[in-house]
């Protein structure tokens, strides 16, 4: 298995799970958002560099049966600050991965899109056949990330699966940088005794999905060389507001949170919740880890840092 972005939060968790199941793992990562220490203790092939490096990417494909493409520049605010870099990493980078796989005869690619593609569509829960209207350059780049592998199914007969991730969280998701996700940001502030920064009134809601559940689905898809002609929501239909999340974090940590409200961020979707009908049909055996247990495991990882 080749994992692009395999030194990142999701990628490193997937690498551990795949190796525990006896798979040989290759990782390519330029460490722009990942951390090599995430792979510490793993006997895998690590190739430092960008998916935009054609020679390196071709080398990474050698002997690979399935690609899980996670490499990306995340964050809506980052994309608003630098749209071109986001497009290059996410859209052009996805095309480069698919072309390298095709050239080397790798017939299966799993790609990570985002619930942000729904954008201005107010429907809840959001079905894969709902219309999309991205609100940020990041969301547009993720629409390309999912549509390219689906087009490669039709154009070249490549087996592919494009997942729309919904606010994945868990161990190895770090805080301490301007583009950090909400859960590590909140836990880090809680541990430091600082106010938790809430963008808006706290009524924004998300379908938080534990990384362990996501990685089990990714591994299963890779092992079965699963292909599907449309995007697939990878979430389980939960709907938690930021204020509800803070209450859950207080319970998981045994600490009391202080909150400071800030202006809403441009490009942020107000509410997000997945219709998981398609996911359940493709992965009927998956049992998601709930928010209470997932936050407890995440808080425990932060306490070990």
CATH number at residue 124: 3.40.50.720
Q: How confident is the model over 25-35, as a mean pLDDT?
A: 95
Q: How confident is the model over 100-115, as a mean pLDDT?
A: 97
Q: Could you tell me the pLDDT band of residue 179, with boundaries at 50, 70 and 90?
A: low
Strand 232-234 relative to strand 159-165, pairing? parallel
- Domain presence at residue 99: yes
- Domain presence at residue 141: yes
Tokens of 272: 């997000």
Q: Could you tell me the pLDDT band of residue 305, with boundaries at 50, 70 and 90?
A: confident
Instruction: For residues 42 and 22, give the distance between their C-alpha atoms in angstroms, rounded to a whole number.
Output: 12
Measuring CA to CA, which residue among 209, 237, 220, 223 is closest to residue 284?
Answer: 220
- Domain presence at residue 194: no
Is pLDDT above 70 for 5? yes
For 84-93, 188-197, 217-226, which range has the lowest pLDDT when averaged over its residues?
188-197
User: Which class for 250: exposed (0-12), middle (13-18), buried (19 or more C-beta within 10 A)?
Assistant: middle
- Per the listing, tokens 């809840």 go with 124
Q: Could you tell me the pLDDT band of residue 87, with boundaries at 50, 70 and 90?
A: very high
- Domain presence at residue 253: no
Bridge partners (DSSP) of residue 262 are 199
Instruction: Quote the DSSP letter at residue 129.
Output: T
Is pLDDT above 80 for 180? no
- What is the residue range of 107's domain? 2-169+210-235+274-289
- Domain presence at residue 300: no
Asked if residues 67 and 109 have their Cβ atoms less than 8 Å apart, the reply is yes
pLDDT in the model for residue 18: 98
Measure the CA angle with vertex 11, ends 209 and 184; round to 5°: 50
Is pLDDT above 70 for 276? yes
- Domain presence at residue 159: yes
- Domain presence at residue 284: yes
Number of domains in the chain: 1
pTM: 0.94
Q: How confident is the model over 283-301, as a mean pLDDT?
A: 95
Using a pLDDT cut of 70, give the percent of the chain over it: 99
Q: How confident is the model over 5-16, as a mean pLDDT?
A: 97
């Amino acid at each position: 298995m080749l994992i692009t972005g395999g030194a990142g939060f999701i990628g490193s968790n997937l690498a551990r799970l795949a190796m525990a199941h006896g798979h040989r793992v290759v990782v390519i990562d330029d460490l722009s958002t990942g951390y090599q220490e995430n792979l510490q203790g793993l006997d895998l092939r690590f190739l430092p560099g960008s998916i935009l490096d054609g020679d390196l990417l071709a080398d990474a494909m050698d002997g690979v049966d399935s690609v899980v493409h996670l490499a990306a520049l995340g964050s809506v605010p980052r994309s608003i600050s630098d749209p071109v870099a986001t497009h290059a990493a996410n859209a052009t980078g996805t095309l480069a991965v698919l072309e390298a796989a095709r050239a080397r005869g790798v017939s299966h690619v799993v790609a990570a899109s985002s619930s942000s593609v729904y954008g201005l569509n107010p429907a809840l829960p959001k079905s894969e056949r709902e219309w999309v209207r991205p609100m940020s350059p990041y969301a547009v780049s993720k629409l390309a990330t999912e549509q390219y592998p689906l087009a490669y199914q039709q154009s070249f007969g490549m087996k592919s699966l494009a997942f729309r991730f919904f606010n994945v969280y868990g161990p190895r998701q770090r805080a301490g940088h301007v583009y950090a996700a909400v859960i590590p940001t909140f836990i880090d502030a809680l541990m430091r005794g600082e106010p938790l920064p809430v963008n808006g009134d706290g009524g924004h809601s998300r379908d938080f999905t534990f990384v362990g559940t996501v990685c089990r689905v990714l591994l299963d898809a890779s092992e079965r060389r699963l292909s599907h002609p449309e995007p697939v929501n990878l979430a389980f239909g939960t709907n938690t507001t930021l204020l509800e999340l803070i209450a859950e974090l207080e319970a998981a940590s045994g600490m009391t949170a202080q909150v400071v409200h800030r202006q809403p961020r441009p490009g942020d979707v107000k509410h997000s919740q997945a219709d998981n009908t398609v996911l359940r049909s493709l992965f009927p055996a998956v049992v998601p880890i709930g928010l209470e247990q997932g936050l407890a495991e995440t808080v425990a990882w932060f306490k070990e840092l």
